[in-house]
Amino acid sequence: MRTALITGASRGVGEAIARALAPTHRLILGGRDRAALDELAADLPDARAWPVELAEITERDVEGVDRLDVLVHSAGVVTLGRIEDTPAEVWRRTMDINVIAVAELTRLLLPALRSAGGHVVLINSGAGLRANPGWVSYAASKFALRAFADGLRLEEPGLRVTTVFPGRVATDMQRGVRAQEGGAFEPEKYLEPDTVARAVLAAINAGPDAHLTELTLRPSDGPVS
């Protein structure tokens, strides 16, 4: 069994990816909600909860992870607002979770990833390709996440690195986004979390001669961003 560590695994896209990988991987389920992680782990054949505050990750948190085949960065935060209304603490929190925590966790796990010739998957966003009004702090973090992935791919040629750019996904996070926008939550117009998970699985299962560097997913009948 290969081993995969997934952040943001307690719900939404992260949970869907965990379920998609469960038949072929031993899973480490990362997130803040211990109860939700324990419940998911109990429902999967070989999984354990890994409750962690990603913004405070240390070497101690990854002790014992000596070989890692897949690292999926799915955790993220979003706070909408125009530049004039977005204070520094929002920018710092957004960058801490969406970029810095990703970089630090990847750095700490590089020996384990190198040992396995592993695969790093970064769940980005349509906002990582285009910045819209009211989304600038989030878009800036996702543009930075794309740059991190590109740099990691060049610096670590022994690893595969895939960035996934989904449009709106029918998750609790999207429900919160729509509340911030003052609009209705319309899941029928969004991607399903399982759809994103299947795209991740396709990238991971591509043959050894293939390196899917970027995947862009858009709802077939819904908003682009």
| Chain position carrying tokens 């992870």 | 65
State pTM to two decimals: 0.95
**Model confidence band, residue 223 (pLDDT cutoffs 50, 70, 90):** low
| Mean pLDDT confidence for 7-22 | 98
The pLDDT tens digits for 130-140 are 999 999 999 99
Q: Which of 47, 68, 73, 138 is catalytic?
A: 138
* 28 vs 110: CA distance, rounded Å: 16
Helix 136-155 to helix 88-95 angle, to the nearest 10 degrees? 30
Pick the closest to residue 72 from 201, 218, 174 (CA basis): 201
Question: Who's near 151: CB < 8 A, 6+ residues apart?
Answer: none
Q: What is the mean pLDDT of the chain?
A: 96
Distance CA 171, CA 187 (A): 8
190 among known catalytic residues:
no
Residue range 68-82: mean pLDDT, rounded: 97
Beta carbons within 10 angstroms of residue 181's beta carbon: 12
pLDDT by residue (tens digit) across 124-174?
A: 999 999 999 999 999 999 999 999 999 999 999 999 999 999 999 999 999
The SS3 call for residue 152 is helix
Predicted local confidence at residue 222, as pLDDT: 56
